[in-house]
């Protein structure tokens, strides 16, 4: 009797357990109601950012053309100067001596010309009257021509000496900004010493690098048969300065180097920016922003994707009842909220937009109305 009760109890417990298990399975299999979105085509403006360095249109080293001591410095580091403005005064005794010697030679040659001219003027009437021979007159005339040639040579030497003496006044060859000044008053300098640098920053060159794949993508679809024609059709670019602010003027890409750097796999580009206000200085750094317009792009919210091992995943709804894991390729948008889908999805696809943390491939769902 006790054995029958035990067996009956065990069977009843098994039935209850199986019943509970089936109820739990049915509960787990119940589809989860989730929000979804349908992807559509839109026109978008993307931005690609590249680190950049800024240089003046002309970075000119200022070197003395003669040996001597720095006698005076007329500018300070960072000064804005104009073309022809004096920067340094060089004390060069040799140039002064050369000028004095050349000037004396001119005065001497000039006196010889005057003396020779007097002799010709004196002998000419006598030769005409036959008092002296024509040969004697020719001799004096030849002496006059020699004196004139000597004077011409002396004047040429004086000009060279004057130019050399003028080199003691070191001037700026362009409008620009003065760089560092390593030598100070009293320093002995020569042509091998760079006194400073003047950077012409009315326009600036902004240099940046992109890889080969990005270059092909950048030029693809642009009008033009040659690279130069395609470059001319590139959109204007923006410069983000080191403090995060946007430079108010737009720039234009002007050159692309002809060779790829075999070490880095990149090519160098140069964008020209106007700098009339002088906000940009040679040596500054920043970021070049290249805009890219895409027609009929597929946008997906970043919140509707998840990443796994550096891969982007979305869950496409099939038949309104199942979420299928889909690998996608994307490009971030400037707002940081969306992606442009380049592969894996198309317009009209419905994707899960919530509950992605617990989402799994093949999970049964119910589309939230």
Per-residue pLDDT of the chain (369 residues; tens, 9 = 90+): 454 555 445 444 554 454 444 444 444 557 888 999 999 999 998 888 999 999 988 889 999 999 999 999 999 998 989 999 999 999 999 999 999 999 999 999 999 999 999 999 998 888 888 888 888 889 989 999 999 999 999 999 999 999 999 999 999 998 888 999 999 999 999 999 999 999 888 899 999 999 988 888 888 878 888 888 888 889 999 999 999 999 999 999 999 987 887 788 899 999 999 998 888 888 899 999 999 888 899 999 999 999 988 899 999 999 878 999 999 999 888 888 999 998 999 999 999 999 888 888 989 988 887
Tell me if domain 48-57+201-294 and domain 93-165 are identical in fold: no
Kindly state which CATH superfamily the domain 48-57+201-294 is placed in: Efflux pump adaptor protein, beta barrel domain (2.40.30.170)
pLDDT score for 60: 92
Q: What is the pLDDT of residue 225?
A: 84
The pLDDT score that the predictor gives to residue 215 is 87
Instruction: For residue 265, give both structure tokens.
Output: 């796999």
Kindly report the CATH number that applies to the domain delimited by 93-165: 1.10.287
Question: What integer pLDDT is reported at residue 320 of this predicted model?
Answer: 79
The pTM (predicted TM-score) of the whole model is 0.64
pLDDT (0 to 100) of residue 309: 87
User: CB atoms < 10 A from the CB of 232, how many?
Assistant: 14
Note the CATH architecture for domain 64-89+167-193.
Beta Barrel (2.40)
The domains of the chain are located at 30-44+295-367, 48-57+201-294, 64-89+167-193, 93-165
Closest by CA to 90, choosing from 157, 160, 166, 159, is 166
The dotted CATH code for 30-44+295-367 is 2.40.420.20
The pLDDT, as a whole number, for residue 319 is 82
């Amino acid at each position: 009797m006790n054995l029958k009760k035990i067996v009956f109890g065990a069977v009843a417990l098994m039935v209850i357990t199986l019943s509970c298990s089936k109820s739990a399975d049915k509960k787990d299999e119940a589809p989860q109601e989730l929000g979804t979105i349908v992807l559509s085509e839109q026109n978008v403006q993307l931005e690609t950012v590249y680190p950049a360095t800024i240089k003046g249109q002309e970075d000119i080293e200022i070197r003395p053309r003669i040996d001597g001591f720095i006698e005076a410095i007329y500018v300070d580091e960072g000064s804005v100067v104009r073309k022809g403005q004096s920067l340094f005064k060089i004390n060069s005794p040799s140039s002064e001596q050369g000028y004095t010697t050349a000037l004396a030679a001119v005065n001497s040659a000039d006196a010889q010309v005057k003396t020779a001219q007097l002799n010709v003027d004196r002998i000419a009437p006598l030769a005409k009257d036959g008092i002296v021979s024509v040969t004697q007159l020719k001799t004096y005339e030849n002496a006059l021509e020699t004196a004139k040639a000597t004077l011409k040579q002396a004047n040429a030497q004086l000009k060279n000496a004057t130019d050399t003496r003028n080199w003691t006044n070191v001037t700026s060859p362009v409008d620009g900004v003065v760089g560092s000044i390593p030598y100070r008053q009293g320093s002995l300098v020569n042509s091998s010493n760079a006194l400073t640098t003047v950077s012409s920053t009315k326009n600036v060159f902004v240099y940046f690098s992109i890889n080969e794949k990005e270059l092909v993508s950048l030029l693809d679809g642009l009008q033009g048969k040659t690279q130069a024609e395609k470059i001319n059709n590139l959109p204007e670019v923006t410069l983000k300065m080191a403090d995060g602010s946007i430079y108010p003027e737009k720039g234009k890409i002007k050159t692309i180097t002809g060779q790829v750097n075999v070490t880095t796999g990149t090519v160098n580009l140069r964008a020209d920016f106007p700098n009339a206000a002088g906000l940009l200085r040679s040596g500054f750094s920043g970021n070049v922003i290249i805009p890219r317009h895409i027609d009929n792009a597929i946008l997906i919210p970043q919140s509707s994707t998840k990443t796994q091992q550096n891969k982007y995943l979305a869950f496409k709804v099939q038949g309104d009842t199942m979420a299928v894991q889909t690998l996608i390729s994307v490009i971030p948008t400037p707002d940081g909220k969306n992606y442009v889908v380049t592969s894996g999805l198309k317009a009209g696809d419905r994707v899960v937009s919530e509950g992605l943390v617990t989402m799994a491939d093949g999970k049964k769902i119910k589309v939230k109305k």
